[in-house]
Structure 1
Amino acid sequence: GTASVAVAGIFAALRITKNKLSDHRFVFQGAGEAAMGIAQLILMAMEKEGISREDAIKKIWMVDSKGLIVKGRSHLNHEKEMFAQDHPSVNTLEEVVQKVKPTAIIGVAAIAGAFTEKILKDMAAFNERPIVFALSNPTSKAECTAEQCYRFTEGRGIFASGSPFSKVTLPNGQTFFPGQGNNAYVFPGVALGVIACGVRHISDDIFLITAESIAAQVTEQNLAEGRLYPPLDSIREVSLKIAVKIVDWAYKHGLASWYPEPADKEAFVKRLVYSPDYDSFVIDDYRWPPAAMQTQDV
């Protein structure tokens, strides 16, 4: 879920940077499960654009507690070895950003303040629209605040967070409403789509489809306000569209269990959407009008 919602935010950001995913270089602060999940989904999306897996891996750099993950470094597990770069050792995130000049930095190590003023200013110097995702929870562990990102990038940063942040207004009057990459965007729609058609195997493709669907529902107005995700109050509509996409994909790839295949997949899924409205079990109570209860003279 974390990977899917993070990549959804990246897809939305591409509409601002106006280039392809494979044109970007990513630096991760953290190399645990969350980082690996996001990186693997980015690889899938880059391969879908047409570049080789080998070339895609070269665009993803990871920093853990011992510095940049590079080839020849000892005690790397299999997943870290996959993303080990052919590069001299670098000890700090600041140095990595200076040397790699990434277009996007993604924080998933729960190190508060990891995205320093210098890093954010460097990102703004290297890129017209730097992508800054501070995804660690809770807010006290965020790599930077929304206000810091916008202030140190002169309002050009494309920001998303794992924790909620209030709107930010800069001295020049620019106002931003930071997007929160919440798993709530992912799981209801995925569960609905999987259950609706009885998907036999939940592959990473489903989470990539989900990311694409979430990003497609972000409006130009949302982007102009700094939002990389649809408003949470539209979560039912977002989830429905995700589910329909999954059902369509499952039937096309022979992974659905329920047949015959529905002709109208949206109507098919809508019938399964939970409704919080219940019939009343209270006995109907009728009251006579007061005037009718009065004794009348004959």
Structure 2
Amino acid sequence: MTSTPNRFRVPLSVKGAIDCPYEGKEMLNLPTFNRGTGFTKAEREEFNLVGWLPPSLQTLDDQVDRAYDQYQSIDGNLAKNTFLMSLKVQNEVLYYRLLEDHLKEMFSIIYTPTEAEAIEQYSRLFRRPEGCFLDINHPEYMVRSLSQWGTEEDIDYIIVSDGEEILGIGDQGAGAIGISSAKAALMTLCAGVHPNRVIPVALDVGTDNQHLLNDKLYLGNRHARVRGEKYDDFVEQFINTVKRLFPRAVLHFEDFGLPNARRLLDHYRSKLSCFNDDIQGTGAVTMAALLAAAKLIGLNMHDIRIVIFGAGTAGTGIADQIRDFLATQGISEQESYNHIWLVDKPGLLVKSLGDTLTPAQKPYAASDERWTGVDTSSLLEIIKRVKPHALIGCSTKPKAFSEPVLREMAKHVERPIVFPLSNPTRLHEATPEEILEFTDGKALVATGSPFDPVNGKEIAENNNCFVYPGIGMGSILSRSSTVTDNMIAAVVKELASLAPSHDDPDGALLPDVENIREISARIATAVVLQALKDGTARVESLEHVQVPRDFDGCLDWVKEQMWLPKYRPLRKVFIS
């Protein structure tokens, strides 16, 4: 037995024995150390667990089988989500191993669309806190709250949300912790980031959701959402605290509202390693699917015409990623705007809308004179004029891609590309069945939520999980000082190269989520290599390691550092 410093640090390695200073009932109540019936006979004796557990010794496989039987016995997706969250706070390894073994079946339960429902019901389903809550009314507690999670050597990744625009369901106030926690779990599940090296954070700045404010069980601040200088000062304090306490950590912005998402990213992306999943992640995965579709039908990106229906954070993020990718194809930024049309609540975004346009929308506004005599409030009329190759939906407006709209698209291009991306499923602009029916089976489809195959044809799920875990892990491992546009472009190219449609014309435009761990490792590898090329990687100077410069060698290096859900040996230590 060995001793350890007064302030015991959670074991954060991915290999070898785990130091544990706990025993008995206390140990069983800690998900990081609890193994339930999986403790060996020797461990039960050494850690004073005899009598606390039934005598049968079981393997992790046995426990997974039992947990899966319990899962299957539960009716309703929300109840299944609640069961899994309960398991997570009981036994960390078992939770991730169960998900790993049944990933495709459970993915829609732990993330979209079921997680959206769980977040809506957060205050009513609340059992145990998970994550870090920062209160705009008490900024004096910020350093104290965050420092409890560890030192700069303990934390690699921080996911923060203020809850204003969550998963297509809007302002959820303190429920923001639900999306931060879900994304944190996916960082571990998909990319192998150690679960104890991630902090999910909710910035509770109030809510404009009157339903929550009127709910006596609501757990967040009961006042309107704070905006303006006080909000900005609070975010600035948060950023500075993160930089001071966790200077090596990557910061992930999640589900901030349209007034803040873009400007916060633009303001802070040069100041620390950070990215916004709704802007860059959504843009990258959509661009990868678009690139795979273009390759399948032989469409030159210099000729592509794209209509994006819904010009909020996600829509403008997709537009920006398309613009940035076109730049890598030799198309100037100004010329790229001629390939993209944005449609939002007023209809087609045109220059005469002036200051009603957000800064992110303004560059894409079309010249009014080119649309004289056209009803720019009608998506059908816009389709008739533009004759787009691709129609992308980020509107949360169900059935917006109507039969006339889809049939009009199919008149002008041989293989229309149609991506209804709004979440959750009930908010999709059209279903895959409708899209294929109204285009006579010609359309190339990717959706924002999982759908069953249509007539044997797999439907690509345009899920951010294909990119953000790899972006995060690659940024962590490279210790990149910033997340550059080149790193995101490298992600797009790598993901597009993995599309099943490359080998099968009837294949999906994106790979299967079942292979997410391998996909994330490859995405992370592309990020690491690009960071080294860009000169933003600090891993070799900070960690004193030599990173292989060839893809396969770097891929092996990445995989060696990915956490696995398995029971490792425990080593008894004492707190001195």
Give the CA deviation at 1:45.
Answer: 0.7
Question: Which amino acid is 1:55 matched to?
Answer: E
Task: Tell me which of 559, 563, 566 is aligned to 1:270.
Answer: 559
Trace 1:78-97 onto structure 2 (pairs within 5 A): 78-86=359-367, 87-88=370-371, 90-97=376-383
Quick one: distance in 2 between partners of 1:109 and 1:212? 26
Residue pair 1:251, 1:261 contacting (<8 A) in 2 also: no
Quick one: distance in 1 between partners of 2:396 and 2:503? 27
Q: 1:249 to 1:187 in 2, by over 3 A?
A: same
Question: 2:544 aligned with 1:253, yes or no?
Answer: no
Quick one: distance in 2 between partners of 1:128 and 1:238? 31
Give the CA deviation at 1:229.
Answer: 1.0
Question: Which amino acid is 2:464 matched to?
Answer: N
Give the CA deviation at 1:223.
Answer: 4.7
Residues 99-121 of structure 1 deviation map (CA, whole Å, 9 limit, x = unaligned) = 11111100001000000101111
Trace 1:156-167 onto structure 2 (pairs within 5 A): 156-167=442-453
Aligned to 1:137: 423
Aligned to 2:319: 39
Gaps of 5+ in 1: 170-174, 283-298
Quick one: distance in 1 between partners of 2:512 and 2:567? 27
Quick one: distance in 2 between partners of 1:163 and 1:22? 29
Aligned to 1:295: none
Q: 1:115 to 1:226 in 2, by over 3 A?
A: farther
Trace 1:39-58 onto structure 2 (pairs within 5 A): 39-58=319-338
Trace 1:136-215 onto structure 2 (pairs within 5 A): 136-169=422-455, 175-215=456-496
Residue pair 1:198, 1:257 contacting (<8 A) in 2 also: yes
Q: Give the superposed CA RMSD.
A: 1.7
Residues 71-127 of structure 1 deviation map (CA, whole Å, 9 limit, x = unaligned) = 222422222221011132611111100111111100001000000101111111110
Question: Which amino acid is 1:103 matched to?
Answer: H
Secondary structure of the 2:490 match is helix
Trace 1:94-105 onto structure 2 (pairs within 5 A): 94-105=380-391
Quick one: distance in 1 between partners of 2:502 and 2:291? 16
Question: 2:404 aligned with 1:118, yes or no?
Answer: yes
Give the CA deviation at 1:279.
Answer: 2.5
Trace 1:18-29 onto structure 2 (pairs within 5 A): 18-29=298-309
Residue pair 1:70, 1:85 contacting (<8 A) in 2 also: yes
Aligned to 1:285: none
Secondary structure of the 1:163 match is coil
Between 211-220 and 97-106, the greater mean CA deviation after superposition: 211-220
Gaps of 5+ in 2: 1-280, 572-576
Give the CA deviation at 1:191.
Answer: 1.5
Residue pair 1:222, 1:229 contacting (<8 A) in 2 also: no
Residues 153-210 of structure 1 deviation map (CA, whole Å, 9 limit, x = unaligned) = 11110001101111112xxxxx311111111111221121111110110123322221
Question: Which amino acid is 2:285 matched to?
Answer: V
Quick one: distance in 2 between partners of 1:96 and 1:130? 15
Quick one: distance in 2 between partners of 1:269 and 1:165? 31
Residue pair 2:282, 2:464 contacting (<8 A) in 1 also: yes
Between 120-129 and 252-261, the greater mean CA deviation after superposition: 252-261
How many residues of Structure 1 are paired with residues of Structure 2 in the alignment? 277
Residue pair 1:16, 1:223 contacting (<8 A) in 2 also: no
Q: 1:220 to 1:163 in 2, by over 3 A?
A: closer
Aligned to 2:85: none
TM-score (norm 1): 0.88
Secondary structure of the 1:168 match is coil
Quick one: distance in 2 between partners of 1:252 and 1:68? 40
Residue pair 1:5, 1:181 contacting (<8 A) in 2 also: yes
Residues 215-252 of structure 1 deviation map (CA, whole Å, 9 limit, x = unaligned) = 11113477533411111111111111111111111111
Residue pair 1:6, 1:181 contacting (<8 A) in 2 also: yes
Quick one: distance in 2 between partners of 1:206 and 1:251? 10
Secondary structure of the 1:21 match is coil
Residue pair 2:500, 2:508 contacting (<8 A) in 1 also: no
Quick one: distance in 1 between partners of 2:528 and 2:443? 36
Quick one: distance in 1 between partners of 2:340 and 2:501? 28
Secondary structure of the 2:302 match is helix
Question: Which amino acid is 1:254 matched to?
Answer: G
Give the CA deviation at 1:14.
Answer: 1.3
Question: Which amino acid is 1:19 matched to?
Answer: L
Quick one: distance in 2 between partners of 1:205 and 1:116? 37
Quick one: distance in 1 between partners of 2:496 and 2:295? 9
Quick one: distance in 1 between partners of 2:331 and 2:464? 28
Q: 1:222 to 1:138 in 2, by over 3 A?
A: farther
Residues 8-44 of structure 1 deviation map (CA, whole Å, 9 limit, x = unaligned) = 1111111212122231101111111101100001001
Residue pair 2:310, 2:342 contacting (<8 A) in 1 also: yes
Quick one: distance in 1 between partners of 2:378 and 2:452? 30
Task: Tell me which of 332, 339, 350 is aligned to 1:70.
Answer: 350
Aligned to 2:193: none
